Amino acid sequence: MLGFQDLKWLNLPAASELNQQALRVKTGDKTDFWRKTFYGFQRDSGHFGYVTVSGDFTAEVTIDGQYEVLYDQAGLMIRSSESNWIKAGTEYTDGQLCLSVVVTNDNSDWSMQRLGSPYKDVRLRLTRHAEAIRVQYFRESDGQWQLVRLAYLPPTSSVDVGVMCCSPERAGFEVTFRDFTVGAPIDRRLHDD
């Protein structure tokens, strides 16, 4: 099983500290991952701590951020190239914390849903089954994993997967990641019997 100690960085954060199974990160100025759609720009400046994995897998992490400014975001990312990736996690939008997923196959798309009540320590999970990427979060209210999105990512022999954070409107967004693991994929079953 892989964890924090195995991470390499694409775009080093302004500051980071690893201790006792937690990774604390502070973002650089106006960092983001986005390609073309709606805004007309391309950004590949977000912070991505990753491991390279072959085949299918499940990655999980718990996120706790100091969300203050529009688009502050943190979560998991899976990436096969600069133009093919998925980022999923928490994002501060319209004064609320939301679950956000961006799927990029040359052009980015964006989906989100509000978490509703104030959340701390959001647990996320990404699972790769060949070309299908399953995005889930742990819903404490009923103790179950909730499907957020099932997305397509072109199949490759290996991908990079890990923690991601960005602050498109500022510098200094602080986030703590806990209990990061990458291991064998969960079962392909999408629905309980």
Q: Which of 42, 22, 26 is nearest to 34 (CA)?
A: 42
Instruction: Name the fold adopted by 4-21+68-183.
Output: Jelly Rolls (2.60.120)
pLDDT at position 181: 95
Q: What's the average pLDDT block by block, 10 residues per block, for the chain (193 residues)?
A: 89 93 96 93 96 97 95 98 97 93 97 80 95 93 90 96 98 97 94 67
**Residue written as token pair 């089954």:** 129
Q: How far apart are the first and last CA of the chain?
A: 29
- pTM above threshold 0.85: yes
pLDDT at 63: 96
User: Which ranges of 75-155 does DSSP label H, i.e. alpha helix?
Assistant: none
pLDDT of residue 39: 86
Alpha-carbon distance of 156 to 66, in angstroms, equals 35
Q: Helix count (H) and strand count (E) of the chain?
A: 0, 16
Environment class of residue 168 by beta-carbon count within 10 Å: exposed (0-12), middle (13-18) or buried (19+)? buried
Residue bearing tokens 């650089």: 28
User: What is the distance between the alpha carbons of residues 39 and 57, in angstroms, rounded to a whole number?
Assistant: 33
